[in-house]
Amino acid sequence: MSAEIICVGTELLLGDILNSNARWLAQELAGLGIPHFYQTVVGDNIERLQKVLAMASQRSSILIFTGGLGPTPDDLTTEAIALYFQTPLKEREEIVSDIKAKFAKRERKMTANNLKQALLPEGAEILPNPNGTAPGMIWQPQENLTILTFPGVPSEMRRMWEETAIPYLKNQGWGREIIFSQMLKFRGIGESALAEKVKAFFDLTNPTVAPYASNGEVRLRVSAKAKDQIEALAIISPVASQIKYLAGLDYFGCDEDTLASVVGDLLRQAGQTLSVAESCTGGGLGAMITGSGGASDYFMGGIMAYSNEVKISQLGVAQESISEFGAVSKEVACSMALGIKEKLKTDWALSITGIAGPSGGSEEKPVGLVYIGIAMPNNAVEGVKFLFGEEKQREFIRYLSSCSALDLLRRKLLVGV
Amino acid sequence: MSAEIICVGTELLLGDILNSNARWLAQELAGLGIPHFYQTVVGDNIERLQKVLAMASQRSSILIFTGGLGPTPDDLTTEAIALYFQTPLKEREEIVSDIKAKFAKRERKMTANNLKQALLPEGAEILPNPNGTAPGMIWQPQENLTILTFPGVPSEMRRMWEETAIPYLKNQGWGREIIFSQMLKFRGIGESALAEKVKAFFDLTNPTVAPYASNGEVRLRVSAKAKDQIEALAIISPVASQIKYLAGLDYFGCDEDTLASVVGDLLRQAGQTLSVAESCTGGGLGAMITGSGGASDYFMGGIMAYSNEVKISQLGVAQESISEFGAVSKEVACSMALGIKEKLKTDWALSITGIAGPSGGSEEKPVGLVYIGIAMPNNAVEGVKFLFGEEKQREFIRYLSSCSALDLLRRKLLVGV
């Protein structure tokens, strides 16, 4: 028994959107321990949809469709499924009235094309959509085959999955033995260097250990098969501990941990506060820090000093240092950090000034050059130079800058100033 | 002749990462006018990789693999391809020396497992990887079938595609007739309401018009088939103009345009400047504004006033308004906007204060409640209330808050204060 995710939408084939639904559903299936070996993306095309159905219904027993349930003429998923199993579509009164009610509530009139969403194959159950007008279906068109359909809008799909699909699947006896994974996250070490350090673990079968790099972050996934999470954790823990020991400070957290949440926890434990001063990241570091709720325990705020005027007037950076060393320099980074620390009276302060590109680079100061300043509780300050590489994209350089600033603070918090 | 994208990686099946490679390659194929009807994701499993090869090599003539070229034992793509076509792997001297040189340059020693990356099937050409140690291949294992392999690391894959794969494909005579699309973007109108307005265009065949919603943004894609971009634009333009006319102010831009870039252009034209004061977004609005290079022309900076102390000390918000109306209120939003406008002496200022959740909501002030303030050149100020919905995720509420602030400014800039 295995599931297969089938995402329908020409916008996916044209690359207009990222397939975030496939990722989210994959995580859910892994959590339920429902094996899942294939994902397919196909366009809003009735013939190719049926070809995919023909293949998928042979190799998988649960087909999870997302997309193509909308009100517009190019939404064809339901129609294609009904056609493939030669079952007529039937308008469902309860869906019609539900759609009408939803439009009324938002003081809008139902448009004719919304009625299309009330058609489901005969014999299919309605998979209710509390957040939207397009319901899905749960249907067994034949022995050992279950089809679930969801709209492409992530928030609608997720709620439908959690409220209706999960209980249904468990009820069918699926998701009994679980696969539970822990994702170990590292910073400051390359993928193959880490792989070399821990390669002995790659031969294990339960738990399994698998490495990969993701967005400038190196990760190891430790996965165990077990009857429940407690048993799985007991299998994972000893291996995870040995890996953490081998990685030392380069290991920073696991699973939902982010550099921001880890630094936040350390600050909370220490009862210390943080402020930031940002130039090229323009608020990205602050946004990263406040990405996890509860940041108000330690994050006071900061200043986006995008222009030199603001660096001078708000952070007390000396006009001279800008003229002598340039806005992108260790000296300016340091005085930005000291400036915001003093202004917001925090224990720690981080600053970022750099050249994120695509323009603005020079022979001597290339795109990707970033200085990060860290001001410490004892009012000592350090400036660190980073060269993220001219070939990198602006957004990635800005992202790496914020991560590196947080990692710098993390190491200081761990080893003491 | 059509291409197929095959992404290899258990991390994709476990949902550990988003499949950004599939999206990027899809955009590239569309641009080259190479039809592409299927995307497949399969794990690092030698049997299933071969099953996918069997199917894909029948329905497509160009197979584009990403992932599974790394140095670790679970990287199996090359091996699986060689095995399926019963061709031995051969170590390539030039790859070995290239890998050694790269490690030397980074003052690191090559690890034994990197040698694995030097093995390619006999007869396959090397697809060089300037940014990394894992090269890909270009191989015709049989009539009318071309296989290209790329590492999963996006920056490496992209450069290899641009520098080697595109010239190769064009050289083979592919990508002659192009499909060129324009993506029209809207804010402030629902998908089906827009569809209703423009439904007459959905029956067109060249250009085609297709709608969909993406992350709180409604879009219409207008695509033309033509011999070159100029011809395509001539086909698209008249339709695009009619659609823009029908949508009025709800249309904000197309293709690479973002609310930030559109607002930036309007500010640049008006020769006006902007500053921001952010509470719950913690810098996200500033980061969005500075996401496009050249923002220094109009964006001075701002303050992340995450704590009330900072709202009071740095933005001059009255303690009384916070106690009387709460930090999340129209009054505080307005005085945050006026405060930062005055402090940084800008023409415009935007402020955001709200409850992004997951905690902190109440009966009277639920999660998703956000007030946005806008201070105008004439020093008038407005506060606008938004209810993004309690069911929404923290990051999405923060994202919608920044977008809504920019859209508010956009409309003011267009219609005049």
CB pairs under 8 A between A and B: 327
3-state secondary structure of B82: helix
Do B311 and B409 have their domain in common? yes
DSSP string, B352-391: EEE--SSS---SSS-TTEEEEEEE-TTS-EEEEEEE--TT
Can you tell me the mean pLDDT for B340-348? 98
What phi-psi label fits residue B204: left (phi over 0), alpha (psi between -120 and 50 degrees) or beta?
beta
* Minimal Cβ distance to B282: which of A26, A72, A287: A287
The total of other beta-carbon atoms located within 10 Å of residue A51's CB is 16
Average pLDDT, stretch A25-51? 92
Q: Which residues contact B227 (CB under 8 A, 6 or more apart)?
A: B176, B177, B178
B165 to chain A, any CB pair closer than 8 A? The answer is no
CB B398 within 8 A of CB B356: yes
What is the C-alpha to C-alpha distance for residues B243 and B240, in angstroms, rounded to an integer? 5
Same domain for A197 and A90, yes or no, is no
pLDDT at A224: 92
CATH assignment at residue B309 = 3.90.950.20
**Proportion of chain B in helix, strand, coil states, percent, rounded to 5:** 45, 25, 30
Q: List, as ranges, residues 210-239 from B with C-beta within 8 Å of A.
A: 210-214, 219, 221, 223
Interchain proximity B37–A19, CB inside 8 Å = no
Q: Where are the beta strands (DSSP E) in A259-410?
A: 274-278, 299-305, 348-354, 369-375, 381-387
- Phi and psi, residue B209, nearest 5°: -125, 125
Q: Does residue A269 share a domain with residue A233?
A: no
- Of B207, B170, B223, residue with least CA distance to B30: B223
Closest CA to A216 of A236, A187, A256: A187
pLDDT at A16: 82
B136-164 average pLDDT score: 95
Query: Is B387's Cβ below 8 Å from some Cβ in A?
Result: no
A282 and B283 within 8 Å at the Cβ level: the answer is: yes
* Chain B residues lying within 8 Å of A51, measured CB to CB: 59
Please enumerate, as own/partner, the contacts of B127-130 that have beta carbons within 8 Å and a separation of 24 or more: B127/B160, B127/B164, B127/B165, B128/B98, B128/B160, B128/B163, B128/B164, B129/B156, B129/B159, B129/B160, B130/B159, B130/B160, B130/B163
B264 closest CA partner among B295, B224, B220: B295
Over residues B61-81, the mean pLDDT reads 93
For residue A61, the SS3 value is: coil
CATH of the domain at B92: 3.40.980.10
Q: Does A312 contact chain B (CB < 8 Å)? A: no
Enter the DSSP assignment of B252.
E
Kindly give, in sequence order, each residue whose CB lies less than 8 Å from that of residue A85, ignoring residues fewer than 6 positions away: A121, A141, A142
Q: What is the mean pLDDT of chain B?
A: 92
Tell whether A391 lies on the interface with B, counting CB pairs under 8 A: yes
Same domain, B89 and B221: no
- In a shared domain, residues B396 and B267: yes
Task: Tell me how far CA of residue A121 lies from CA of A83, A86, A113, in angstroms.
Answer: 9, 9, 18
CA distance A124 to chain B (A): 25
DSSP string, A256-295: T--HHHHHHHHHHHHT--EEEEESTTTTHHHHHHTTSTTG
A242 min Cα distance to partner chain B (Å): 19
Residue A300 has pLDDT above 70, yes or no: yes
Which residues are B213's β-sheet partners?
Answer: B218
Instruction: Give which of B238, B248, B175, B250 is closest to B209, Cα–Cα.
Output: B238
**Do B95 and B118 form a contact (C-beta atoms < 8 A)?**
yes
Q: pLDDT at residue A119 above 90?
A: yes
pLDDT beyond 90 at B416:
no
- Suggest the residue from B2, B36, B41 to mutate for an interface test with chain A (most A CBs closer than 10 A): B41
Q: Which of A171, A204, A226 is the last residue of a domain?
A: A171
Beta bridge partners of A65: A6, A149
**What confidence tens digit (pLDDT) does each residue in A204-215 have?**
999 999 887 666
Q: Which of A7-11, B59-63, B131-135, B370-374 has the lowest mean pLDDT?
A: B131-135
Q: Which domain holds residue B199?
A: 178-254
Find the helix or strand (DSSP H, E) in which B233 lies. Answer: helix B229-247
Q: Hey, what are A275's tokens?
A: 């402020």
d(CA A166, CA A28): 9
Residue type, B305: A
Mean pLDDT of all residues in B237-257: 95
Q: Phi and psi at residue B52, in whole multiples of 5°? A: -65, -40
Q: How confident is the model at residue B157 (pLDDT cuts 50, 70, 90)?
A: very high
- DSSP strand pairing (B299-305 vs B217-226): unpaired
Give the pair of three-digit tokens for residue A328: 């992108």
Note the pLDDT of residue A109.
75
Considering only A146-155, B12-21, B108-117, which range has the smallest mean pLDDT?
A: B108-117
A320-to-A323, A343, A354 alpha-carbon distances in Å: 5, 21, 18
CA A151, CA A139: separation in Å to the nearest integer? 16
Alpha carbon A58 to chain centroid, angstroms: 32
The whole-number average pLDDT for the span B174-183 is 82
Rg (CA), chain A: 26
Q: What is the pLDDT of residue A417?
A: 67
A149 neighbors A134 (Cβ within 8 angstroms): no
Q: How confident is the model at residue B213 (pLDDT cuts 50, 70, 90)?
A: low
User: Do both B268 and B155 map to the same domain?
Assistant: no
**Residues of A with CB below 8 A from B70's CB?**
191-192, 212
Residues 6+ apart with CB under 8 A from B332: B311, B317, B321, B322, B325, B326, B353, B371
Contact check, Cβ <8 Å, B278/A283: yes
What's the CA gap between B378 and B380, in Å, rounded? 5
DSSP string, A201-241: GGG-SSSEEEEEEETTEEEEEEEEEESSHHHHHHHHHHHHH
Which of B17, B113, B223 lies nearest to residue A196, judging by beta carbons? B113
Residue B417 clears pLDDT 70, i.e. is over it: no
Which residues does chain A have within 8 Å of residue B108's beta carbon, measured at their own beta carbons? 190, 193
Could you give the CA distance from residue B95 to residue B109 in angstroms, rounded to a whole number? 16
Which of A196, A301, A391 is facing B305, going by the closest CB pair? A301
To the nearest whole Å, the CA of B215 is away from the closest chain A CA by 8
Set of chain B residues whose Cβ sits within 8 Å of the Cβ of A52: 38
Across the interface, whether the CB atoms of A111 and B196 are under 8 A apart is answered yes
In terms of domains, do B336 and B397 share one? yes
Which of A56-60, A93-97, A259-263, B225-229 is predicted least confidently? B225-229
Whether residues B144 and B10 fall in one domain: yes
Q: Is B396 close to A153, i.e. CB distance below 8 A?
A: no
Residue A333 pLDDT class (50, 70, 90 cuts)? very high
* Mean pLDDT for the stretch of residues A93-110: 82
Q: Which of B416, B411, B150 is nearest to B263 (CA)?
A: B411
List A residues 274-303 in contact with B (Cβ-Cβ < 8 A).
Answer: 276, 278, 280-287, 289-291, 293-296, 299-303
Per-residue pLDDT at B228: 85
Whether B103 contacts chain A with CB within 8 A: no
Whether residues A19 and B16 touch (CB distance < 8 A) is answered with no
> The domain that contains B216 carries what CATH number?
3.30.70.2860
Domain finish residue from A222, A254, A286: A254
Same domain, residue pair B194 and B165: no
Decide: B223 and B254 in contact? Cβ < 8 Å: no
**Structure token pair of residue B182:** 């324009």
Per the structure, the count of domains in chain A is 3
pLDDT tens, residue by residue, A34-46: 989 999 999 999 9
Q: Is B134 in contact with B69 (CB distance < 8 Å)?
A: yes
Measured between beta carbons, the chain B residues lying within 8 angstroms of A359 are: 293-294
**Confidence at A106, pLDDT banded by 50, 70, 90:** low
| Choice among A46-50, A344-348, A379-383, B28-32 with the minimum mean pLDDT | B28-32
Nearest CB to A359: which of B23, B114, B293? B293
CB < 8 Å to B199, chain A:
113
pLDDT at B106 over 70: no
Nearest chain A Cα distance for residue B129, angstroms: 13
Domain end point (choices A121, A151, A171): A171
- ipTM exceeding 0.85, yes/no: no
Question: Is A268 in the same domain as A400?
Answer: yes
Q: Does the pLDDT value for residue A255 go beyond 80?
A: yes
Gap between the Cα atoms of B223 and A15, Å rounded: 13
Shared domain for A382 and A291, answered yes or no, is: yes
Helix axis angle, B259-270 to B394-415, nearest 10°: 30
The answer to whether the Cβ–Cβ distance between B48 and A38 falls below 8 Å is yes
Query: Which residue reads 């193509």 in tokens?
Result: A68
Q: Which residue of A has its CA nearest to B19?
A: A19
pLDDT of the residue at A192: 81
* Cβ–Cβ contact A131 with B under 8 A: yes
The partner residues of A275 in beta bridges, in order of sequence, read A301, A349
* Model confidence band, residue B393 (pLDDT cutoffs 50, 70, 90): confident
Four-residue CA torsion sign, A256, A258, A261, A262: positive
Same domain, A272 and A357: yes
| Contact between B70 and A212 using a beta-carbon 8 Å cutoff | yes
Tokens of B152: 């999963």
Give contacts of B30 with chain A, Cβ < 8 Å: 13-15
Nearest to A318 by CA among A299, A335, A301, A294: A335
Which of A161, A290, A401, A406 to mutate to test binding with chain B, by most B CBs within 10 Å of its CB? Answer: A290
Report whether pLDDT(B280) > 80. yes
In chain B, residues 314-353 whose CB comes closer than 8 Å to chain A: 314, 343-344
